[in-house]
């Protein structure tokens, strides 16, 4: 895992498929800075903070969550920032906060379909001690859009349609024409990889109308706008 600089004020970490650690973002502002997604554990957040210190970057004031899935949210309790999420994201976080993380309870959730094998496998890889898992809700919630004025850069946090998860949020930085997408372009892992084509079309239209050049995505290197649009367009 490394922290890479994408533009003057925007950085991102590498993902790690071994325990499904997603890309985390960092947006530097002269007034305040923003973290995108909270990672999947306290250790993930610790590594993120280490790289910020190493590069002389200040800790973020806010942490914006792109969606509720465990790999983007189970580090929230360790983040020293005000967490921001869609209202639907918070509903899911509150639901998961009541879960018991023991071997037997996790196996039960696989049987009921509350959890999926891919997530279960990687949660166990990230957490040798299951008792260390802690899920908390966000401090700030919104429905459609919230704008963070960071001084030298703006973060437009927007709820957009997604086949992946109904609560999906993107973070757009108009000054540097970069957008953080999380996993918004993917299909629904919790519904046997079903893809809602209407939501995919809606997302395509929404992203087409946003003036970005580069997209930071959840589990690979950043891509150009045309690549994301071409990927989505092939489904319809």
Q: How far apart are CA 40 and CA 21, in angstroms?
A: 6
The DSSP secondary-structure symbol of 80 reads: -
pLDDT for 30 equals: 95
Residue 44, token pair as written in the block: 């993930």
Dihedral-angle region of residue 216 (phi above 0 means left; psi in -120 to 50 means alpha; beta otherwise):
beta
* Contact present, 170 and 157 (Cβ < 8 Å): yes
What is the structure's pLDDT at 1? 80
For 169-175, the CB contacts below 8 A with 24+ separation are 169/64, 169/65, 169/66, 169/67, 169/85, 169/86, 169/89, 170/66, 171/25, 171/27, 171/34, 171/36, 171/64, 171/66, 172/210, 172/212, 173/9, 173/10, 173/27, 174/211, 175/9
pLDDT < 70 stretches in the chain? none
The answer to pTM > 0.95 is yes
Question: Residue written as tokens 């530097």?
Answer: 28
Q: What is the per-residue pLDDT for 134? A: 98
């Amino acid at each position: 895992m490394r922290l890479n600089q994408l533009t003057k004020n925007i950085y991102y970490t590498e993902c790690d498929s071994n325990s499904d650690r997603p890309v985390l973002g960092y947006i530097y502002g002269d007034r305040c800075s923003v973290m995108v997604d909270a990672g999947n554990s306290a250790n993930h957040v610790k590594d993120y903070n280490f790289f910020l210190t190493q590069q002389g970057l200040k800790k973020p004031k806010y942490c914006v969550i792109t969606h509720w899935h465990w790999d983007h949210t189970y580090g929230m309790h360790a983040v020293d920032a005000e967490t921001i999420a869609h209202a639907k994201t918070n509903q899911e976080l509150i639901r998961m906060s009541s879960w018991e993380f023991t071997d037997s309870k996790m196996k039960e959730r696989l049987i009921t379909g509350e959890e999926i094998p891919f997530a279960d496998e990687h949660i166990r890889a990230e957490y040798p001690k299951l008792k260390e898992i802690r899920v908390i809700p966000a401090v700030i919630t919104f429905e459609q859009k919230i704008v963070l004025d960071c001084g030298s850069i703006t973060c437009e946090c927007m709820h957009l349609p997604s086949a992946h998860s109904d609560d999906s949020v993107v973070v757009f930085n108009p000054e540097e024409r970069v957008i953080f997408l999380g996993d918004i372009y993917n299909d629904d892992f919790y519904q046997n990889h079903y893809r809602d084509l209407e939501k995919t079309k809606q997302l395509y239209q929404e992203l087409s109308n946003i003036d970005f050049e580069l997209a930071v995505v959840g589990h690979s290197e950043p891509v150009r706008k045309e690549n994301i649009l071409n990927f989505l367009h092939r489904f319809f």
